[in-house]
Structures are given as C-alpha cells and as structure tokens.
Amino acid sequence: MTPDTNETGDLTDAEKLQLSELLQRLNDHDASNALTVIESCLILIEGNSDVDKELVKKAANALSRLRKILNCKVSSITDESVKWQPVAESFQSVAIKFKSIEIEINLPRKPEIAIGPILDRVFYVLVDNAINRGKATRMTVSAEVDQSTNDLLIFVKDNGRGIDQMIKERIFDKGVGENTGLGLFFARGILLMKGIKIQENGKPGHGACFILRVPPQNYKNFKT
C-alpha cells in the first residue's frame, strides 16, 4: 500500500523553536503531576501504620512516569545520535493510560525506529486525538514495508468519525482543530525532525488513518 495524501513539508526554524518550547511545557506539566501523586502517596503512607500496597504501587508508577519525562529532554528533539525505540513498547506504554479505547497492536516483528523515547509523545497525541476528536472506541496499529521505496509504513487506524474534509489538508497546521490545535502540529514536527513523515488518509465518517513513513535507514528489525 502506498499512501499519497497529506505529505508534510520541511520545518522552519520558528517551528523548531515552537516545538522545543511546547515540549518543555509538556514536560513541566507532566513532571509536576507525577510529583504531586508521589507526594500524596507518601503523606498517606506516613500516616498509616499498615503500609498500603496499592499506594506504594501508585507511587512507583508515578516515579516510572517521572523517569520517562526526564529522559524525554528538550534537547532530544535536535539530538542527532541514534536512539532506537521499539514501536510496540511505546504504544503499549501509552495504551495503558487510556481506559475508554481498545487498542490492538499488531506488530509481530517488533520494529524499532531511530527516534528515542519521544515517540511516546507522538503516539499519545494520536490516541488522544482519536478519543477526543474522533470519538473512537477502537484503534489498531500495524506496519508493512513499501516495496517501491523500502520505507516502513506504520498504520494507526481508529473507528471514530474521521477527519472532516474541510480541514483534512490542514490538520497538521498549528491552531487547526479543537482545543489548542497543537497536538498534531507537535506530532508532525517531532517526526519530521527525525526524518519521519506523517500523513492521514482515512475517510470522513469511517475513522482516521494516520501513517508514519519511516525511511530505510531509520528502522530495523522488520524484514519482509
């Protein structure tokens, strides 16, 4: 399958700066939330002679989230060193944060792409978009190799209402869409800075279908 719609272009220096600032704000917000959870759990544990294992587990999970946030530094956007990130692992770590959607990850050959842990942020945007904009209840993730280019194509499909035709060609532009209009702009920018393109070719009324196009030098562990 060779998708042919909504190809993205290059980023301007201004867009790169906006992405860095946005990632910093996201990291600050998430780190603050994780620290609040840890602090609350420790206060409850301190006042209880019997240690609540659920509270300990909750605090441990928050610590794990905080560690990931700290690993996802702003400098990682422009870091040119290769950091391989398992696609399935990233999506699984995001999927557990959402209870209102069923996510099927069909990646038997466990591909990895050269992007690092910031891939979690991209997948979070796609899942959040499917739920809040598309009203989806089910999502599937699969991949195949484009035989004409050897690019790895990662398909993220949902059963929601799809992207309205009126904004379909502009969904990756800043300010387009509901709420802040920054999610897909952010996802596109992060991917482009790592040499990966994203497009959408779903049909309105039949769900969205986002496709990540990863060039041959940017993926491994997926042989045809």
Residues 6+ positions from 27 with CB-CB distance below 8 Å: 69, 72, 73, 74
pLDDT of 198: 94
pLDDT of 158: 96
pLDDT of 3: 45
C-alpha–C-alpha distance, residues 217 and 116, integer Å: 15
The residue whose two tokens read 């042989």 is 223
What does the block give as tokens for 120? 């979690």
pLDDT of 108: 76
Q: What is the DSSP letter of 168?
A: G
pLDDT of 137: 95
Check whether domain 82-220 has CATH 1.20.1090.10, yes or no: no
* Beta-bridge mates of residue 142: 155
pLDDT of 175: 73
What sign does the CA torsion over 46, 49, 55, 57 have?
Answer: positive
Domain boundaries, the chain: 18-74, 82-220
158: three-class secondary structure by DSSP: strand
pLDDT of 190: 83
Q: How far is CA 107 from the centre of its chain?
A: 16
Give CA separation, 33 vs 22, 59, 63, 73, 83, in Å.
17, 12, 11, 17, 27
What does the block give as tokens for 40? 């609350």
What is the number of helices (H) and of strands (E) in the chain? 5, 8
pTM greater than the 0.75 cutoff: no
C-alpha–C-alpha distance, residues 48 and 189, integer Å: 47
Per-position pLDDT tens, the chain of length 224: 444 444 445 666 666 666 666 666 666 666 776 777 777 777 777 666 666 777 777 777 777 767 666 665 555 555 556 689 999 999 998 898 888 999 999 987 789 999 888 888 899 889 989 998 889 999 999 999 999 999 999 999 999 999 988 888 888 887 776 654 468 888 888 898 888 999 999 998 999 999 999 999 999 988 65
